[in-house]
Amino acid sequence: MTGAGGTIGSALARRAVDCGAGPVFLLDQDECALHSTVLALSGRGFHENDRALLADIRDAARMQRLFRRTRPEIVYHAAALKHLPLLERNPAEAVKTNVLGTRNLVDAALQTGVERFTLVSTDKAADPASVLGATKRLAEEVLRAGAAQGARRIAFASVRFGNVLGSRGSFLGTVLEQLRRGLPITVTDPEATRFFMTVSEAVSLLIQASAMASHGEVYSLDMGEPVRIIQLVERLAALQGISVPPVRVTGLQPGEKLREELVGTQELRNPTAHPRIWNLGLKPVRPDLAQRLDELRAAAEQGHRKALIRTLGELCDTYRLPAEPPAPPAGTTTPAPWAALRPTGTTAPRTGTTAPRTGTTAPRKEPPRIRRELIPEPGGATPAPVAVHPERTMTTAPAAAAEW
């Protein structure tokens, strides 16, 4: 389980343990989240568990070593960067983890004989409008390309679904905190809608879709009807037994959609044996994918944002590229970020001489002197001097001070 410290990764691990699968190896680069999952599953910490793997999927050599050592039969790949606004500002990091990290795992799986490999994808990969959606869509293509490689066929599959209620960093948690504190609720747009699913529901359908896979399918889960964000806020407020506080509309941020789609405009939705799982018909994988991924890696490592975004758009032909900010008019300079902090207007230059100060000057207040006191040490040892401010004199009893 990659991303084992996250909501979906930890729930998948719990389900695998409950079903008697084993051994279950938990991989994450977040040591605190990984520790929480290990404790929840076994009740014991790292010192008694050698199946917790602290590693970053960006490290290709490390992934190769771990796969050779553990020899997994089934891989659930839930590790990803998912914070949409943050990834819009840091697209290179999204590429390194979501695309190139997935490629590292696929390469390791091909070389060690994994039987099944399932990627946890997102509905934002359908006609992506964000860096998050584009990188997850490209990760799906990495799996499809891997399905055609290797002497031993691996059952690769990608599974798309929308927002998971109660997941780490989810909108739900933010709204509940704002309701609890009586703050205005922030929403992007009154008409914005999203698909929602519970953790248990998502994990059950994810496992069943994985069992259907054979050669790189991309599945989409039936998420039900989309929910207006405003309606969700009203329901949450009702469950808390409070009235809905004022709503502050922030406007759609770069990369955000007013309405999410489950299937792209160039994708076909085909039924499967499960009524809530669709198999998406996609165009063939481009033959130069490996070469273009190398170009994408170079742009990410060198920090060439424009080249990176352009390559993402060429590899995901339905990616709605972000609009370039308008260039300043010729002959003007862009003000520094701190220019707004400067006072406006002009300051008249000082002229003439400065008038001497008249009257008496208030006596200057001397800073309080620090006196040193001796605090008794336990056992009659020589006391150590401690600086005590006269306005903050210690009132602790000597015994308590010595104990502290």
List phi, psi (to 5°) of 353.
-110, 160
The stretch 85-99 carries a mean pLDDT of: 97
Least confident range of 26-35, 175-184, 262-271, 385-394: 385-394
The reply to whether 273 falls in a domain is yes
Least confident range of 11-25, 43-57, 93-107: 43-57
Coil vs helix vs strand at 160:
strand
Which pLDDT score, from 0 to 100, does residue 348 have?
46
Q: Indicate whether 222 pLDDT > 90.
A: yes
Q: How many domains does the structure of the chain reveal?
A: 1
The reply to whether 9 falls in a domain is no
Catalytic residue among 124, 257, 283, 306: 124
How many whole angstroms separate alpha carbon 138 and alpha carbon 131? 10
The stretch 167-189 carries a mean pLDDT of: 85
The reply to whether 35 falls in a domain is no
The reply to whether 332 falls in a domain is no
The reply to whether 336 falls in a domain is no
Q: Indicate whether 169 pLDDT > 80.
A: no
* pLDDT tens digit sequence for 9-36: 999 999 999 999 889 999 999 999 999 9
Which pLDDT score, from 0 to 100, does residue 396 have?
39
The reply to whether 353 falls in a domain is no
Q: What is the CATH classification number for the domain harbouring 70? A: 3.40.50.720
* pLDDT tens digit sequence for 335-345: 444 344 444 44
The reply to whether 294 falls in a domain is yes
Confidence band for 385, pLDDT divided at 50, 70 and 90: very low
Supply the range of the domain harboring residue 270.
55-164+197-223+263-315
The reply to whether 355 falls in a domain is no
Confidence band for 358, pLDDT divided at 50, 70 and 90: low
State yes or no: is 136 an active-site residue: no
Which residue in 32, 39, 255 sits closest to 128, CA to CA?
255
How many whole angstroms separate alpha carbon 294 and alpha carbon 101? 13
